[in-house]
Chain A
Amino acid sequence: EVQLVESGGGLVQPGRSLKLSCAASGFTFSNYYMAWVRQAPTKGLEWVASITNSGGSTYYRDSVKGRFTISRDNAKSTLYLQMDSLRSEDTATYYCTRVHWGVFDYWGQGVMVTVSS
């Protein structure tokens, strides 16, 4: 059974940093692209960042470029999202997702990030 378990969320002040982790199991992690998708409170879904199966290439939405860094450790089957210079508009539930054919076929339970002073 595929499982994606996020951790690392919480309340953080604007301008500070936070690092999310996603522990994957139930599939061969190194075979799949992975991604983070977020959802602001009562809002829709928004793709944040993706990474290739080797970790050699990464992709970001414009609003997080230069502030967020997606990475992975295939030996640990773990995906990461380093978030720097956080803004109030980054407040959201962040979902770890597996990517297949460009779609998000498995989702974690999500982790809440609140950016507020």
Chain B
Amino acid sequence: DIVMTQSPSSLAVSAGETVTINCKSSQSLLSSGNQKNYLAWYQQKPGQSPKLLIYLASTRESGVPDRFIGSGSGTDFTLTISSVQAEDLADYYCQQHYSYPTFGSGTKLEIK
């Protein structure tokens, strides 16, 4: 299985700040066939189901605000949330979709 290591496990920021969440995979998620990285990000707000934010490392799902930016390639990936808002309070998970899906352990984002 591909192991996904996410960091930090939690962080607290003030509204308007920029947040970076990291995700590292135990093997490359880059397909040699199409040069795409099979990495997704999800947001889970308190008491709600997860919501897909980004897939193929940097493709934003329809309706997701452009302050959510996915980047990275190979084994190292980042979710950046610029100008964090109070509504961004949530847990964030990365997931590889290169093989049988596995998730990172999650990052809890708190707003000061």
Q: Which chain A residues have a beta carbon within 8 Å of chain B's beta carbons?
A: 35, 37, 44-47, 50, 59, 61, 95, 101-110
Contact = CB atoms under 8 A, between A and B. Distances in A.
Given A102-B38, A102-B101, A45 B52 contact: no
Given A103-B40, A105-B61, A47 B49 contact: no
B77 interface: no
A109 B106 contact: no
Interface of A is mostly: strand
A109 B49 contact: yes
Contacts of B93: 44-45
B100 to A, nearest CB: 7
Interface residues of B, number: 22
A27 B38 CA distance: 24
B49 A107 contact: yes
Nearest to A100: B55
B97 A103 contact: yes
A37 B52 CA distance: 13
Contacts of A46: 103
B55 A110 contact: no
Given A95-B50, A105-B52, A107-B49, A45 B97 contact: no
Given A45-B93, A45-B95, A59-B100, A103 B105 contact: no
B22 to A, nearest CB: 16
A110 B49 contact: yes
A101 B103 CA distance: 16
A26 to B, nearest CB: 14
B97 A44 contact: no
